[in-house]
Amino acid sequence: MNIDAFSPRILYIISLETGIIIVYYLFCQKTAAVELCLSIAPPGARTVFHPGTAASKLEEKKVKKAIALCLSLVLILCVLAGCQTAEKEKSYANILEKVKGTGELHVSLSPDFAPMEFVDTSKSGQDQYVGFDVTLAKKIAEELGVKLVIEPMSFEACQASVSTKSVDLSISGYSYLPERAENFELSDGYYTNNESNQVIVMLADNAAKCTDASSFDGKVLSAQNASLQWNLLTEQLPNANANLVTDLGVAILEVINGQVDGLCCALGQAEIFCATYPELAKCPWEFEIDDDANVILIPKGETELLAAVNEILADCYASGVYTEWCDAANELAMSEFAQEVSIEDEPAS
């Protein structure tokens, strides 16, 4: 909003868009103009001073009226700024109340796990994150009546972000694990067929020879940290040399380059790896699993949000949309624009 009726003999021009106050000091010394401006300027405003020109008594009256109007506008601006700050700092009884109060649902995920979550390079910003879990996150936000905000980070950081409540929840291809149940509220399971088989990917010539658990004795097998695959590897193949990894994109290249023998992963991702790199194949032998459902991580004690999410999951399951979402995610994961992107966490200060 500009008050420019008497330019160039105006006392103030206030620009709300840029936060700049331009002061033309007509009827006072610059020192007085500075003191007056500092007393009314909103926080963060930048001030520029210019000397004015002589003015008639009539013009002086007009300018004084302009000053009064300026002061009123600045007062209103300060009050509005205070209200916005108060809204941001408002305390909420629980995360669900905060989500609805702020109008945003913040969800962490690791976009290196196609077809669950990955990047569509033909898009940018929030739209670039795609996959089954992203579709589910959008559905949850829609049902809650809020805006979805994706927070991309590493798989480990995703879990830490829920523990610290820096996000509202995390959807990133999680399987049920007892230790997760101890540290988080876990949603009811949702089914994608991605977790129904847990396999090992190796160079094709080597994969064909691995038909039983003893075939992996002495072999170096990688699995992602804090994952179901790591638990399966260490429990069901104790004679293999377990290699902990954080970046699945790097891990599969290590298999191709012969630095490790194989990578443990979900069947859906194994199929994408094998389609991308023809020299790879999944082994005939597979891990035994008890439950093929995925779960959503919610901060411990946030039972209101848990109940709301479970209700949405139940509706999704009853409507049969999971199959449609799964097919769409698999198709997109095979496209030329699909890319698994590993996020490097910022080092602790």
- What local confidence, expressed as pLDDT, does residue 82 receive? 57
Q: Cα dihedral angle (200, 229, 166, 163), rounded to 10 degrees? A: -170
Q: What is the pLDDT of residues 24-62, one digit of tens each?
A: 444 445 455 555 555 555 555 554 444 544 444 455 565
- Give, rounded to a whole angstrom, the gap between the first and last alpha carbons of the chain: 42
Band of residue 115 on the pLDDT scale cut at 50, 70, 90: very high
**Mean pLDDT, rounded, for 264-274:** 93
What does each C-alpha distance from 313 to 27, 262, 294, 320, 343 come to in angstroms? Answer: 68, 34, 11, 11, 28
The answer on pLDDT for 284 being more than 50 is yes
**Mean pLDDT, rounded, for 304-327:** 96
Q: Do domains 95-193+301-334 and 198-282 have the same CATH topology?
A: yes
pLDDT > 70: percent of the chain: 73
**Mean pLDDT, rounded, for 179-187:** 97
Collapsed DSSP state (helix, strand, coil) of residue 250: helix
**Mean pLDDT, rounded, for 98-114:** 97
Per domain, the residue ranges of the chain are: 12-88, 95-193+301-334, 198-282
- What local confidence, expressed as pLDDT, does residue 37 receive? 53
The answer on pLDDT for 282 being more than 70 is yes
User: CATH number of the domain at 95-193+301-334, out of 3.60.15.10, 3.40.50.150, 3.40.190.10, 3.40.50.300?
Assistant: 3.40.190.10
Class level of CATH domain 198-282:
alpha beta
Range among 45-59, 80-94, 267-281 with highest mean pLDDT value: 267-281
Give the integer Cα–Cα distance in Å for 93 and 105.
Answer: 16
Full-model pTM? 0.70
Q: What is the pLDDT of residues 192-218, one digit of tens each?
A: 877 779 999 999 999 999 999 999 999
Give the integer Cα–Cα distance in Å for 135 and 123.
Answer: 15
- What local confidence, expressed as pLDDT, does residue 163 receive? 97
**Mean pLDDT, rounded, for 299-319:** 97
User: Which of 17, 31, 11 lies closest to 71 in space, CA to CA?
Assistant: 11
- What local confidence, expressed as pLDDT, does residue 36 receive? 54
Q: How high is the mean pLDDT of the chain? A: 83
**Mean pLDDT, rounded, for 315-342:** 94
